[in-house]
Structure 1
Amino acid sequence: MSMPAFLAPEAWLRADGGPRYLQLRRRLERAISEGLLEPEAPLPPERELAALTGLSRVTVRKAMRSMADDGLIVQRQGSGSFVAPRPRRVEQSLSRLTSFTEDMARRGLRTTSEWLERGRFLPAPQEVLALALGPNDMVARIARVRMAGGEPMAIERAALPLDVLPDPEAVQDSLYELLERHGKRPVRAIQKLAAINLGEEDAALLGVEPGAAGLSIERTSYLASGRPVEFTRSIYRGDKYDFVAELRFSEV
């Protein structure tokens, strides 16, 4: 399908579809995800987009600014707007306990989060066991989609004892950075990995097709004292991550 036909408003613009700039943004995102707009391809100028969609240039500009802020497109002064380059696969070490924010910062990628859940809850049985909780304890639970360069990379669901994280709303970006400021950053962890095929809900959150390859990681993290302070279940996109472990020969 050609770009003009794809952007014809009768195919996607709805009176009950929410703000018009968001509808245009979703349409452009779909063009990118379906390959109609390849990485680094130029987008039509604002004037042309307005003519193709029947929207005002103010609305078009707002949609483009929103996409640029989230790293989906790159705006170059005097040259126009371009689809952001496709991020390279991330090579993630399994021998270092680091945060998602730290990992992406080392690669020069800006991280953002889409919050799914944040609050205090009664613990699930698996959380009680992993965190060695008592019968009356509660947990701080946070769940979010982690993004790098505007693209969803992983889903993180973490539970911590309330005395370790009394205010889940205090987590803005890096959980480990917040814990470090309060002297409660874990120093070691045990992880379990499993290859999976993504279900519909997780696939939708990660922007891939249901059944796509993913990697599930369960991690229990500990303080130097040996106390468990974090139980995290994460799902990573299989097309974005390579996990690497260093092995050393043990002499008998």
Structure 2
Amino acid sequence: MSEFLLTPEQLADEEGGPLYTRLQALIRSAISNGKLPANGALPPERDMATSLGVSRVTVRKAIQGLVAEGVLRQRHGSGTFVSRSGGRVEQPLSRLSSFTEDMKSRGLMPTASWLERSFGMPTSAEAMILGLAPTERVARFHRLRMADNEPMALERAVVPGRILPDPSIVQNSLYDALDSLGMRPVRAVQRLNAENVGSADAALLGMASGSAVLAIERISYLPDGRVVEFTRSLYRGDAYDFVAELNLAEVSPR
């Protein structure tokens, strides 16, 4: 077990509550005093249980609770990590911009892990939203979006094939690729709602299954009114806030 982690004596000295809550308190303390740095990896559950003299069930319950709080994150196949420091990301709803632009504007390094980048037939719902003829195809993009190597969102985007015939030209930013083709959207309609993430998506986002996420559907338009993009994204509810500025409507004098 790594030297910065905990001992059975520390766990025994921690007062109050069941073992898993005491372990959670010790992990929080180790994060706050810097012994567990942001993005640092925790040892495997088996090693932690052996070192502390507790059951794996206790360790798992402690970790799952901290993942649900956003203190820790889990990456499928990689392990458990301390969440990025610096607070939640705020995104204004009044500006149409890409994830890449949003993260760079905050001094964060945006990256993406491709889960799918393909060309094929749309679903009936996608064809209706994009205004496609029955035989038209679409470019499809499914990726995990990250900031400073921390999972932030899952994004599933669909673009008409007549607008973007070669999916491989999209590297980091879909909007940069559309801009290079003279097809960058100028307005969009977004619909937001809260959901509980399923197990497969939760594993990719480093969250516990059933955790809260922000589900966002966006339909983007070209200057001539054509739909250029339909995107459905799942944003981590513990890491992302969407902010809208509201102005009081002018009241005409009577």
Alignment TM-score, normalising by the size of structure 2: 0.68
Q: How does 1:165-176 map to 2 (within 5 A)?
A: 165-176=164-175
How many residues align? The count is 189
Partners of 2:136 and 2:90 lie apart in 1 by 37
Partners of 1:225 and 1:5 lie apart in 2 by 59
Q: Identify the range of structure 1 (211-220 vs 161-170) with the bigger mean alpha-carbon deviation.
A: 161-170
User: Does the 8 Å contact 1:120/1:139 carry over to 2?
Assistant: yes
**Runs (4+) of structure 1 moved beyond 4 Å?**
34-37
Partners of 1:136 and 1:36 lie apart in 2 by 59
Work out whether 1:38 is the aligned partner of 2:31: yes
C-alpha deviations, 1:80-129, integer Å up to 9, x for none?
A: xxx78524200111111000000000011111111111010110112111
User: Does the 8 Å contact 2:4/2:35 carry over to 1?
Assistant: no
Structure 1 letter corresponding to 2:224: S
Q: Which runs of 5+ in 1 are unaligned?
A: 7-33, 44-48, 54-71, 73-82
Alignment TM-score, normalising by the size of structure 1: 0.69
3-state SS in 2 of match to 1:38 = helix
Q: How does 1:220-231 map to 2 (within 5 A)?
A: 220-231=219-230
3-state SS in 1 of match to 2:31 = coil
Paired-residue identity, %: 53
Partners of 1:233 and 1:179 lie apart in 2 by 18
Work out whether 1:116 is the aligned partner of 2:115: yes
C-alpha deviations, 1:153-181, integer Å up to 9, x for none?
A: 00000000012111111111011011111
1:182 is displaced (CA, Å) by 1.3
Q: Closer, same or farther in 2 for the Cα pair 1:84/1:201, shift >3 Å?
A: closer
Partners of 1:185 and 1:198 lie apart in 2 by 30
Structure 1 letter corresponding to 2:156: R
Structure 1 letter corresponding to 2:91: Q
C-alpha deviations, 1:11-33, integer Å up to 9, x for none?
A: xxxxxxxxxxxxxxxxxxxxxxx
Structure 2 letter corresponding to 1:167: D
1:42 is displaced (CA, Å) by 6.4
Q: How does 1:84-233 map to 2 (within 5 A)?
A: 86-233=85-232
3-state SS in 2 of match to 1:177 = helix
Q: Which runs of 5+ in 2 are unaligned?
A: 6-26, 38-42, 48-72, 74-81
Partners of 1:113 and 1:37 lie apart in 2 by 30
Q: Closer, same or farther in 2 for the Cα pair 1:250/1:205, shift >3 Å?
A: same
Partners of 2:209 and 2:109 lie apart in 1 by 27
1:37 is displaced (CA, Å) by 6.6
Q: Closer, same or farther in 2 for the Cα pair 1:233/1:42, shift >3 Å?
A: closer
Q: Which residue of structure 2 lines up, in the alignment, with residue 18 of structure 1? A: none
3-state SS in 2 of match to 1:202 = helix
Q: Closer, same or farther in 2 for the Cα pair 1:147/1:37, shift >3 Å?
A: farther
Partners of 1:171 and 1:183 lie apart in 2 by 14
CA RMSD of aligned residues (A): 2.7
User: Does the 8 Å contact 1:3/1:36 carry over to 2?
Assistant: no
3-state SS in 2 of match to 1:3 = coil
C-alpha deviations, 1:60-91, integer Å up to 9, x for none?
A: xxxxxxxxxxxx9xxxxxxxxxx785242001
C-alpha deviations, 1:210-241, integer Å up to 9, x for none?
A: 11110000000000111001000000000001
User: Does the 8 Å contact 2:154/2:234 carry over to 1?
Assistant: yes
Partners of 1:136 and 1:101 lie apart in 2 by 32
C-alpha deviations, 1:115-145, integer Å up to 9, x for none?
A: 1110101101121111000011010000000
